[in-house]
Amino acid sequence: METEEYQKSPGFQNLLLVLSIYVVIELYVGTIVDYPEEFKETLSWIDFVICMLFLYDFFNGFFRSNDKWKYFKGNWIDLVSSIPTIEALRMGRIVRIIRILRVLRSAKYIFNAFSRKNSFNTFRNLMLISSMIILFFTLSFYHLEKNANPHITSMSDSLWWTTVTTITVGFLQDIPPVTVEGKFLSVALILLGMIMFSTLTGTITDYFIEDEDIQENINELKEKVESLEQKIDLMTSKIDQLNK
pLDDT above 70 as % of the chain: 61
pTM over 0.75: no
198-202 average pLDDT score: 73
Return d(Cα 50, Cα 109) in angstroms, integer: 14
CA distances from 36 to 40, 44, 143 (A): 6, 12, 10
Return d(Cα 77, Cα 233) in angstroms, integer: 63
CA-closest candidate to residue 30, choices 96, 80, 90, 77: 96
pLDDT in tens, 111-131: 666 655 555 566 666 777 777
Q: Please give the pLDDT value at position 28.
A: 66
Q: Please give the pLDDT value at position 98.
A: 66
Return d(Cα 109, Cα 81) in angstroms, integer: 13
Average pLDDT, whole number, for the chain? 73
Domain borders along the chain are 1-114, 116-217
CA-closest candidate to residue 74, choices 105, 45, 97: 105
Please say if the pLDDT value at position 2 is more than 50: no
Q: Residue 82's CB: how many other CB atoms inside 10 A?
A: 21
Q: How confident is the model at residue 196 (pLDDT cuts 50, 70, 90)?
A: confident
1-114 and 116-217 in the same fold:
no
CATH topology of domain 1-114: Four Helix Bundle (Hemerythrin (Met), subunit A) (1.20.120)
Return d(Cα 216, Cα 226) in angstroms, integer: 15
Q: Please name the residues in contact with 191: beta carbons below 8 A apart, sequence gap of 6 or more.
A: none
Please say if the pLDDT value at position 168 is more than 60: yes
71-85 average pLDDT score: 77
Q: How confident is the model at residue 4 (pLDDT cuts 50, 70, 90)?
A: very low
CATH of domain 116-217: 1.10.287.70
69-80 average pLDDT score: 79
